[in-house]
Amino acid sequence: MDVKVKMPSVIVSLEVEVGAAVTKGQVVAVVEAMKMKNNSLAPADGTVKSIAVKAGDRLKPGGVIMTIE
């Protein structure tokens, strides 16, 4: 399951690493959109399989931050 941004965003920080166990609703990344910081949450319980970005990266709407399985 991919964690995606909903609007043009900049990655502020990643709160987990590959291999980390996460629970639904846990903050996995912080993004900035329209000059506001927003938390990106894990959509389900699982393990972080991959991270597609690093802090400072810009993403378009629908851009993938990470994959959780």
Rounded CA separation 52/20 (Å): 15
With vertex at residue 69, the alpha carbon angle to CA 27 and CA 44, rounded to the nearest 5 degrees, is 45
What's the confidence (pLDDT) of residue 27?
98
What's the confidence (pLDDT) of residue 56?
97
What's the confidence (pLDDT) of residue 19?
97
Q: Is the dihedral of CA 39, 27, 16, 49 positive or negative?
A: negative
Q: For residue 13, what are its two tokens?
A: 């920080």
Q: Please state the domain extents for the chain.
A: 2-68
Provide the 3-class DSSP secondary structure of residue 16.
Answer: coil
What's the confidence (pLDDT) of residue 37?
97
Instruction: Strand 9-14: give its sheet, edge to edge.
Output: 36-41, 27-33, 9-14, 58-59
pLDDT means over runs of 10, the chain (69 residues): 95 98 98 95 97 97 97
* 2-68 under CATH 2.40.50.100, yes or no: yes
